[in-house]
Structure 1
Amino acid sequence: MGPELHTPFGIVRDRTWMVVNAEYHFLTQRRIPRMALICPEIDGAFLLVTAPDMAPLRVPIQPDLSTAKVVQSAVWSQEISGIDCGDEAGEWFSKFLEEPGLRLIYHPPEFAGRQLVERDAKVLKIKRKMWEDKDKCAFADAAPYQLLSEDSVAELSRHMDTPVPYLHFRPSILVNGCPPNNEDHWWRFRIGTSEFRATKQRCRCTLTTVDPQTGTFGRKDVLETLKKFRSNQSAEWDEVYKFGPLLAVDLGIDKTGTCSVGDIIVHLPDE
């Protein structure tokens, strides 16, 4: 694979499209697990979307901003603008997900993302600020980047009767060659020419129970197992995690650049 370009609000074109309802409220696999069966990929100047028993959908990745329909949506109550990708795309998603009135929206680089904020910041006991003013996000849940090691997933699988693939956790950066859960302790590091900063561990939810092969809530054992041996044990972070199960780390970016498959992770001195 070629290099990925990294920006202040994530990998270019990663988590910059979002399915919404007729009122432009965001939808996720938490409510519609069948979404897991949808496969997007970049095909030249188009986003190519495929799903079982559906004709492929092609959506331009560079819409004309002067004529585009700009709409307002929100992710976890944080407002963010997007471009409505049109009726054909809306009808495609409505048909496959069996819900009327759905739309697909796109957040182009020119819109510059949404500012990240610390939820319930007044009650947090943590000693350092999680997000910098420069940290932004597009349609991702809570961070521009999520890093996970294959070694951590393998360690989780050792506690389970049926191994779990990393796809249950949807990382934007997947690494290997480190001890299990070692990424919990990383702070600043370089991959390729991009420099990242860890902000917090990722607290997992019911989305991890969606089986990406069937599009159903078929793997309740994933979350149940995580709760048994990966729950937060730090009093400093209890207002953030609520003793929730943790796997992977959320990242901000200090220097934009490129990353390629096979790049070595270089740890940087703390500032």
Structure 2
Amino acid sequence: MVPIVTSSQWKGCLAASAVIIGGYVAWKMLKPDSRNVKLLSASELQEAKWQLVGKVKHVWLYPVKSCAPLDLHAALAVKPGLEELTSALRDRSYMVVNDSPKFTMVTGRMCPQMVLIKPSLDENGDLTLSYSGKDPLCITKANRQQGPVKISEVWGDKVEGVDCGDEAAAWLQSVLQRPVRLLHFNEDVNKSTRVPNPPTPVTLPLLQPGDSGIYTDLTGFMLLSTASVEQLREHGENYTALQFRPNFVVDSDDKASCGKLRPHQEDEWRYIKIGETVIFRNVKPCTRCTFVCVDPDTGKKDPNLEPLKTLQRTRMRKPWSEPLFAIMMSLQTRGVVREEDPVYVLY
């Protein structure tokens, strides 16, 4: 005899199934690190079956921490971060600090107008900073190599930097309306005590010694997909990927074996290969703060603290205490990354 299932029993089965399925999905989202437990060797990475997921839409290098980026067609990926091909200028190798004995870092969280300071490079590889209403500031190689060495901190880790001089300090002070100095990390003479051991609520097995960036918050690379940004736009604002300051923006590719990218699909990637040689490890989800509320076009912080409030409603994942948006990566195999390069992953 075929058992008769009542309407209430059927609804109960559906509810139970939903709980099970929802629980599995939540487990994958809440505990991505528990699956990333094995470091792969060079031979294992060479023999792995990589899955095409998209292509590189943007390559952004931020010379000065919290300021606008250089929009590059290509850049060299080295351990500390991206490097401009002709000048060897590195990502976040400059940092603004308070002109005080501790030289504490100054970021866009406290000075939102920093995102409007735009960098450019001349044929000599000298860095120029521009800001509306101000004469440009040129920082020559001599400026960033011959000044006194000062010690600052990045989230508790001591990092040295060459003071770029009084002219740079005065220019930045006129923009930020506070006494500041500009430091440049020169790897030939400067030292850093930064260690990849952040106070995180979970273990990060793919984070290895030497993975820390220069003046970055943790590692030297951040990646975000256009699908994740597009989903956030559904909440009513025209946010752009630049608001979240990634180095790489990945777009869906019609030829991708996985089809169109799902929002936050990047959270699930364990290893990422860009082009045919450059390989990264997905070491940590990127936790977000009020800096994401600063509009990169206006330099103003949203009075309602959006999109942070929306992310706090939609992207909180235990055991993290801040919402997650984008992934932080460390370099496994160096090489040049270019716009339009294919992006492959291992799950």
TM-score tier (shorter): 0.7 to 0.9
Q: Deviations over 1:161-194 (max 9, x none)?
A: 2221112100011111122111000111211332
8 Å CA contact retained: 1:9, 1:113: no
Which residue in the other structure is 1:147 paired with? 223
1:14 to 91, 106, 112: 91
2:262 to 176, 179, 200: 179
Matching residue's letter, 2:166: D
2: CA distance between counterparts of 1:62 and 1:195? Answer: 34
Q: Aligned-pair distance for 1:42?
A: 2.3
The verdict on how the C-alpha distance between 1:183 and 1:43 changes in structure 2, with shifts beyond 3 A counting, is: same
TM-score, normalised to structure 2, is: 0.69
Which residue in the other structure is 2:282 paired with? 198
SS in 2 for 1:226: helix
The verdict on how the C-alpha distance between 1:61 and 1:185 changes in structure 2, with shifts beyond 3 A counting, is: farther
1:224 to 300, 303, 309: 309
Aligned residues: 256
Matched, 1:43 2:122: yes
1: CA distance between counterparts of 2:114 and 2:141? Answer: 20
Which residue in the other structure is 2:26 paired with? none
2: CA distance between counterparts of 1:206 and 1:107? Answer: 26
2: CA distance between counterparts of 1:70 and 1:112? Answer: 10
8 Å CA contact retained: 2:212, 2:218: no
Matched, 1:248 2:326: yes
Uncovered stretches (5+) of structure 2, i.e. residues with no partner: 1-71, 84-89, 253-260
TM-score, normalised to structure 1, is: 0.88
Q: Which has the larger radius of gyration?
A: 2
Q: Aligned-pair distance for 1:64?
A: 7.1
Q: Deviations over 1:124-158 (max 9, x none)?
A: 443x5252013121011122111111111011111
2:165 to 82, 86, 92: 86
Q: Aligned-pair distance for 1:61?
A: 4.2
For residues 45-194 of structure 1, the aligned pairs below 5 Å read: 45-61=125-141, 65=145, 67-100=146-179, 102-110=180-188, 111=190, 115-120=194-199, 124-126=201-203, 128-158=204-234, 160-177=235-252, 178-192=261-275, 193-194=277-278
2: CA distance between counterparts of 1:191 and 1:115? Answer: 27
1: CA distance between counterparts of 2:336 and 2:143? Answer: 24
SS in 1 for 2:110: coil
Q: Deviations over 1:90-134 (max 9, x none)?
A: 00000011113x11111134347653332336xx443x5252013
2: CA distance between counterparts of 1:19 and 1:64? Answer: 13
SS in 2 for 1:11: strand
CA RMSD between the two structures:
2.0
2: CA distance between counterparts of 1:164 and 1:43? Answer: 31
8 Å CA contact retained: 2:159, 2:194: no
Matching residue's letter, 1:6: A
The verdict on how the C-alpha distance between 1:112 and 1:194 changes in structure 2, with shifts beyond 3 A counting, is: farther
SS in 1 for 2:208: coil
Matching residue's letter, 2:135: A
8 Å CA contact retained: 1:114, 1:138: no
The verdict on how the C-alpha distance between 1:94 and 1:232 changes in structure 2, with shifts beyond 3 A counting, is: same
The verdict on how the C-alpha distance between 1:83 and 1:64 changes in structure 2, with shifts beyond 3 A counting, is: closer
Uncovered stretches (5+) of structure 1, i.e. residues with no partner: none
